[in-house]
Homo-oligomer: A and B are copies of this chain.
Amino acid sequence: MLDKLSQWTSTSVFNMILTLIIIIVLVLLLLYLVKKTAETIDKRIIATTTDPDRRARLRTLRKAAKSTAQIIIITVGVLIGLGTMGIDIGPALAAAGILGLAISLGAQTLIKDMIGGLTILLEDEYRVGDYVKIGVVSGEVEGITLRRTDLRDDEGRLFMVPNGDVRIIANETRDWSRVLVVLNFRYGTELEKPLAALEKALARLNADPQIKPYLLAEPEIYGWDGLSDWAVVVKLSAKVTAGKRSEVSRVLRQYAIEALHEAGVPVDSFVR
């Protein structure tokens, strides 16, 4: 019996120990690679981000990714080691597989939300303070986390939008904005007089010291911009600094209406 034991030990134990050493070396190598990669990301990507808020969030992300990779490598290493030592790891693999599938299916929306959040952060689609429209919801961005974006609308409602629902984004405060004022003149109105009046309104806008700094170009008139069922459409347009659209448009509307009043031209209304 001793002989049998020694024989079993000789070959198998030798084999096993050799294999275990190879496994440990490989695991250490992979852990080292993960560490190096994390450091590179830190240096090349995160350190070059100017916005401190975003930098902090990216760093947290990087740490979480590193830990996840480390846990996976060590778990796989342990399982391979156990398998080498003769333990049937089938049930452990099966449990992992079923859990993985269940999570993949059940938590799909959660994973989607997080991947959406990652995209928003990495692509810098909007920042805290931007005025954006996401789907049917629009408001000022109050906060961005990995799972959701918080928007505050004009009436003070706080919208919590899961990042997975963030698909088409309209960012109203990027680079520049354009004020468009639409006026209807009923068919039969001669357009010369109103156009002349509107020209005056634009000149007055261009000369307004409170508005002037926001104007990025001379405001323009587009006459006959459309024919509706009951009116000719005229548009006034002014390119302004991002975020100043509502201020400038209120003033432009005021000047336009006042100029038309002075010129005695009625802005026609659908209801009479």
- Residues of A whose CB lies within 8 Å of any CB of B are 1, 4-8, 10-11, 14-15, 19, 22-23, 26, 72, 75-76, 79-80, 82-112, 115-116, 119, 123, 125, 133, 135, 137, 145, 147-148, 153-162, 164-165, 167-172, 174-184, 186-188, 190-191, 222-227, 229-232, 239-240, 242, 245-246, 250-251, 253-254, 257, 261, 266-272
User: A230: which B residues are within 8 A, CB to CB?
Assistant: 269-271
Nearest opposing residue in chain B for A126, CB measure: B160
Instruction: Tell me the smallest distance from the CB of A78 to a CB of chain B, in Å.
Output: 8
Nearest opposing residue in chain B for A226, CB measure: B253
Q: A148-B123, A155-B177, A169-B159 are in contact. Are A254 and B100 (CB under 8 A)?
A: no
Nearest opposing residue in chain B for A95, CB measure: B76
Inter-chain contact A91/B93, CB cutoff 8 Å: yes
Instruction: Tell me the smallest distance from the CB of A250 to a CB of chain B, in Å.
Output: 5
Number of copies: 7
Inter-chain contact A158/B178, CB cutoff 8 Å: no
Q: A79-B91, A96-B98, A105-B104 are in contact. Are A155 and B180 (CB under 8 A)?
A: yes
Inter-chain contact B80/A229, CB cutoff 8 Å: no
A141 to B242, CA, bound (A): 18
Inter-chain contact A229/B158, CB cutoff 8 Å: no
Q: A86-B19, A97-B94, A108-B105 are in contact. Are A253 and B271 (CB under 8 A)?
A: no
User: A269: which B residues are within 8 A, CB to CB?
Assistant: 186-187, 229-231
User: A261: which B residues are within 8 A, CB to CB?
Assistant: 190
Partner of A156, one of B14, B178, B231: B178
Nearest opposing residue in chain B for A148, CB measure: B123
A84 to B80, CA, bound (A): 14
Inter-chain contact A80/B86, CB cutoff 8 Å: no
Nearest opposing residue in chain B for A237, CB measure: B154
Inter-chain contact B1/A10, CB cutoff 8 Å: yes
Instruction: Tell me the smallest distance from the CB of A57 to a CB of chain B, in Å.
Output: 16
Inter-chain contact A88/B83, CB cutoff 8 Å: yes
User: A162: which B residues are within 8 A, CB to CB?
Assistant: 167-168
A172 to B87, CA, bound (A): 57
Instruction: Tell me the smallest distance from the CB of A70 to a CB of chain B, in Å.
Output: 13
Of A10, A79, A229, A240, the most chain B CB neighbours within 10 A belong to A229
A88 to B11, CA, bound (A): 17
Nearest opposing residue in chain B for A72, CB measure: B95
Instruction: Tell me the smallest distance from the CB of A264 to a CB of chain B, in Å.
Output: 11
Partner of A107, one of B93, B94, B115, B183: B115
